[in-house]
Each structure stands twice: as structure tokens, then as C-alpha cells.
Structure 1
């Protein structure tokens, strides 16, 4: 899970370096990722057989949620800025465990519930939301899109975890099906919302290919492998390390120096995740 979060954390950097249309970035990261995923899926099917039919339906639905998440989150950035959008999408830390509680009966430890406000506060500090900044778009629309993206993200995580639990030998197959569905969903949404220009520079293609391989293929294979082995609240909390690691990548690659407040936010996130999971919760909901 931590490895998957690390791969996802590089996504924002690649999108920024590519400097292309939001819908195009969402579509291409999925469409390109299908190319290496297909042979990996065929190899997996040769060893373990085809993914069971009901799980294919789950994978398709998960992909629709993922494609919607990518486009809505990127659009929310245009309205409310990357800082606030980063905070809003991490409502998954609450929604993912709640979905697992409602539909899967997984209990939520009280220790996790107590730590959640501190995790979200840490994310807010790390993202720089308290530093303000200009918002050139519609704030209400941006907040709605950011929250909806977080819910869609949580739905993808829940469905992927469900697939991994029911057929643990299939790791690549559900990721491949979901990624293909996400490509279709994000492409259709982009056509309606942002347009889908594909005439981009060679440098942009290079960054998008890197995004597809690291931020899509590697990230979701690692997360799909790890999530079913962990409690939903633990998996959700570990993914909060993503924006923290993104700051590290920005410092090393883009030479963007974080503020003291952001560093304190990172420390709070790490401490909250550790305190919430250092021992098994004894009291659950």
C-alpha cells in the first residue's frame, strides 16, 4: 500500500510537467496503461484462469468510478486550487471504511475515528490550504466536484478490495479491466466537459507515458495486491501518505521548497496514521 501511494504521489508532478488539458491527461493515463496491462493479464489468466464473470462487472463499475474521479478532481483544481482539492479528495479516508462497514460488515476501530480529524488536518496543512490563494473558478462547483471525486475514489477502492478478497490470485486482471473502463469513462466525460485534444508535444507524451506506467499500472497493481490484506481503515489511512510523498517528489524533482506549515502537516499525517494503527483496536463500531 505504501509503495502504491508512493507511485500515485508522483502523478501530480507528471501531470504538471506534461502541461496538457485535464481531460486529455485523465484519458491518456488510462488508455496508455492498458497496453502493458493486457499482456500481464493474459499471463495471469494462463496461470490462474479468467477472472470470474461477476468480478468483471465489479471491475468495470470500479473503472467508471475511477475515470469520473480523475476528471472531477482535475476540474475541481481549476475552481478551488490544488490545495483545497487535495483535501477534499481525501474524504476517501472516511467514505472507504464506511462503505466497507455498510456493505461488507467490516468494523471501524474507535482509535481510527479519533485519529481521522488529525489526519485530515495534517492533509490540509501539508497541501497549503491555509496559505490561501486566488480561485479563478466557481467555488461551490469546485467543492462539489472535489467531494464527488473523493466519493468516487472511495467507491473504486472498495470495489477493488472486494475483487481482491473474492479472487486473490487475480491481481492484474481487475486492474486491467478497471483501467480500460476508466479510459472510456474519462474520455466521454472529457469530451463533454473539457474537450479531448490529443495533439500534444513529444515531451508531454513522455511525461504522460511515465504517468501511465508509474501512476496507473504500478500504483494500482501494488494497491490491489495490498488492500485486501488490510482492514479498510488501514488501507484508507495509508493512502493519506500520498500527498505527503508528493511534497517530497516536488522538492527533489521540481525543486519546490515546502513551507514550515506544510512540513508540520506532513509530520501530523504520519504521526496520526501511526498512532491509529500501531496496535489493534479493541473497541469497534
Structure 2
């Protein structure tokens, strides 16, 4: 990546100072109104003097506020997407953006396998326009569980879903018709996805009718399978370099892409560039 010129750095610093002056009163009020684990005041000859938050704390608080605002604007809580899942997904999105792995569409697909298969647990989010593009059903792997997905694997022929962050690749025509390749980027959790042919595709067993007849969705061999009446539009929308996050109830899952410091830096730079 080409290093910014001295003039560009100066402009960024000026924007940062302007942004800091705008948000400082709000952030400071948050910190002064919220009890902290460590002392926030020191005794001086003049009495108690309140310490202002550090720039790092201000940035973290600003990022958290921005996430809450985005979550509210998208109105996904009403659709069942929990904030903690949303926060992880967006944090990973910004980390992948920082690594240059994503295109410029600003799309984020979230699948929450901690929800039952009878619920619409896939969301395609347009972070730029703050809109939900799709909210629909999605199947998990056959050996991951019945209605609830409780087991996950990165192993070939496990027939289980793999958790973590993916970057979408090109589509192709396979045994399921139009399908979308998925590149798993979480080492040890989903980086065998390409070898396992874990892809997005349509399936007849992903429908409200199947749920009515069986009490749950059908299950795949590990792919996030989609409804037949929506899969083509979803593939068209999210293909070629967007972020996909598969969440599930697995306390052992961890990812280098959940680095909050990187996410905060990228989010701040995005805001500065937007306001330039």
C-alpha cells in the first residue's frame, strides 16, 4: 500500500482534531456519568480534579457508540439478530477490510447458527445504506445437529458446518446448480472450506413448507444452503469479495479478525474520509 504523503497526513490529523473536538463533550460526559473500575479522580490542593479519558478510550467509546447506532438504524434486533453477534461480525468486517480482502460493496452477511433452523437466521446487510438486503432461512450441516446446530468441524467429510469468517469468491455451476465459492480465512476453524467444497447454493429442503412438514429445515453436507426462490439473488449480491460470518455456540472459537483495535482504526479512518 502506498504511504500517504506528508500533506495527506497533515490533512488526516486536522480532520482527527476536528472530529475529536466534536465528539469530546459527548464522550467525556459518557465517561463521567459511568462508574469505572479504576479511580477517575485525583486529589489536588484545589480539591477533586476529574481526569479526561485517553484518546484510545475515546476512540473505543466512539466506535462502540457508532456500532450501537448502526445496529439501531438497521433494525435487525426486531429480526432476531443479537447485538453481540452483530458486533463480532462488524469487527471482523473491518479487520478484513484492513487486510485488503474485501471489495468496495460494504456488504456483510451474518449467519447465526445459535438460532434454530426454523428461524430466519441469515442477514445480508448493506452497511453503507444501512439496509437489510435479505433476511432468510439457511441450513446447517447434517452432522451439526437437528433443528439446532451444536457441533462444528473443519474436517473433510465431517458433514458439519464450519464457524468463522469467510470471503466470497466467484460463482460456478456445480451439482447444485449455481453455487458460490467460500474462502474460509479462520485458520483451524474453516480454512478447509475450499477443499471441502463448502459453498452457498440453493436447496429444496430450505423452505417454510419443509419446516411445516418436518419441524425443521433439511440439512446440507456442511454448506450454508439457501431457499430456492432467493439463492440466485443472494449469490448475485454477495459474490466476489464480500464478508460472511458464521456464528455458533462454540466457546472455543477465536479469530485474529476479532481485533477491536484494528476495527476502531479502520472505522475512524472511514469516518474521516466520509467527512472530508
TM-score by length of 2: 0.25
TM-score by length of 1: 0.24
Higher share in helix: 1
Higher share in strand: 2
Larger relative contact order (C-alpha < 8 A, sep ≥ 6)?
A: 1
